[in-house]
Amino acid sequence: MILPKVRDPRFVTIRRGGTLTDPDHQLLALWAAACAEHVLRFFESARPDDPRPREAIAHARAWARGEVKMMRARAAGGHAMGAARELRGAARYAAYAAGQAAVVAHVAAHELGAAAYAIKAARAAAPKGEGEAAGRRGCRWQRAQLPVPIRELVLDDQRLRNDICWSVFDR
């Protein structure tokens, strides 16, 4: 996921000079984890013995609960992305979604990375000719999962970044 060159202060924590509160940062991580977990089956069906993406999602949630440090969650995210490298299609995108979810602990703006890769996974897993419909369903599901305190922040971030995986479903 490519991040904007200029960081949006709404995704920088207050202690680092931005406006993001810790509770909202934690909600972003939990939402990203939910998006990734929603498509995790695509990875696990291809690599049932590789726990790295599932562990990354667990680390995102554990970080949000204050049970692990940011560096540990970020490392788990890197391992999940490593699991994606040799794969293609839905399995690869699902592992990337898990990795992005875990690194939200480090950079909150990765929240859309998890969501975008999850939609790519759903589209790639769909039968031929049904990818767009699968993407639309995934987008609706993700938006329905957004906690109220961060809903407008995430939707505005999506609009500002013109995220390709979400913007095509705004029509």
Residue spans per domain, the chain: 30-167
Q: What is the pLDDT of residue 161?
A: 74
CA gap 53, 138 in Å, rounded: 19
Q: What is the pLDDT of residue 171?
A: 37
Q: What is the pLDDT of residue 170?
A: 44
Phi-psi region of 85 (alpha: psi -120 to 50; beta: other; left: phi over 0): alpha
Cβ–Cβ under 8 Å, residues 78 and 63: no
Report the DSSP beta bridge partners of residue 13.
Answer: 20
CA gap 107, 135 in Å, rounded: 25
Query: Which residues in the chain come in under a pLDDT of 50?
Result: 168-171
- C-alpha distances (whole Å) from 17 to each of 2, 8, 12, 78 are 22, 11, 7, 26
Q: What is the pLDDT of residue 3?
A: 62
- C-alpha distances (whole Å) from 5 to each of 61, 152, 155 are 27, 22, 19
Q: What is the pLDDT of residue 157?
A: 86
Q: What is the pLDDT of residue 99?
A: 98
Global pTM? Answer: 0.92
CA gap 168, 70 in Å, rounded: 33
CA gap 102, 64 in Å, rounded: 10
